[in-house]
Amino acid sequence: MRFVEKRPMVMIVLGVAGISLSSIFVKFSTAPAAVTAAWRLLWTVALMTPVVFGRGAVRRELLAVSRRTAALSALSGLFLAAHFVLWFESLNRTSVASSTTIVCTEVIWVCLGYWLFLGGRVPAKALAAIAVTLVGSVLIAFADSGSRGQLWGDILALLAAVAVAIYTLIGRVVREKASTTVYTYLVYTACAAVLVLTCGVQGHALLGHGSSPVWVGLALAVCSTILGHSIFSWCLKYFSPAFVSASKLCEPVAAAALAAVIFAQIPDVMQLIGGAMILGGVFWYSRIEGKETEK
């Protein structure tokens, strides 16, 4: 630990690598989106359970959570499940570059939700940054409009971004009274339950799709959920929230590069321009938010 504490940028790189592999892993699954997502969350809960119940303080907090915290965590898990299903299905229909870039607009929808529902203040410059990202999304959609499947994939990615933004906003409320470990465990457990139920409603069995969804789910749980997102939480001790948020913007770039090599998915000029506008707008917003936080 002393090595990474002295060189926290190493963890930033590992975190980016972890989340960038998400879309690549999903492409290797032969199962429906809900099945792949269910395996991801089932593995995540299975890996977290020994840690949660093996620590006395965490176990006591978990067993003493209020009904309000449990209910909001379950609601948060519902929207997280919607995010995974929508995004995974998006990756089945459109390119990795388009899907991952549009999903990165999450921070913009969080900003709007914070303003509309939680009484937050949004600076004029932030609204301009939001406008830039939306224009970029329109350009990507226009580039993909020649194929109904790809355009629908872009729409699903946008809905996935909105769903995960709602999950984030609920988390902001719940985290005022619950620790990160307890909150995430409750959310991931609820999310796993919703995804298993979704598979049942859609008529998809968890098994019977080959071994790929099981191992893809494990890879997603370890690399993307536990390592990727947990590493970014750890990095907040050494870097500003604005820098950590901005570093996540490397995900669509790295994912697109990997997809170009592995799947021969080469973005066209319009997609590149739209993607650059989205990433630029989100980066601009992150800088604005960082300055507001410092004030």
Looking from the CA of 92 toward its CB, the CA atoms found within 13 Å total 13
- Nearest CA among 66, 256, 276 for reference residue 174: 66
Per-position pLDDT tens, the chain of length 295:
565 566 677 777 888 888 889 999 999 999 999 999 999 999 999 999 998 999 889 899 999 999 999 999 999 999 999 999 999 999 998 888 888 888 888 878 887 887 777 666 777 787 788 788 888 887 887 776 666 678 899 999 999 999 988 988 888 788 778 888 888 899 999 999 999 999 999 999 999 898 999 999 999 999 888 877 777 767 756 775 556 666 777 788 888 888 888 988 888 888 888 888 888 887 787 777 666 655 5
Residues 6+ apart with CB under 8 A from 84: 33, 37, 40, 41, 160, 191, 195
Cβ atoms of 88 and 33 closer than 8 Å: yes
Report the C-alpha gap between 54 and 48 in whole angstroms.
Answer: 10
Burial (CB < 10 A; 0-12, 13-18, 19+), residue 56, is exposed
Query: How much is the pLDDT for 145?
Result: 66
What's the maximum distance between 2 C-alpha atoms anywhere in the chain? 57
- Nearest CA among 198, 162, 163 for reference residue 42: 198
Domain boundaries, the chain: 2-294
- Nearest CA among 171, 168, 183 for reference residue 111: 168
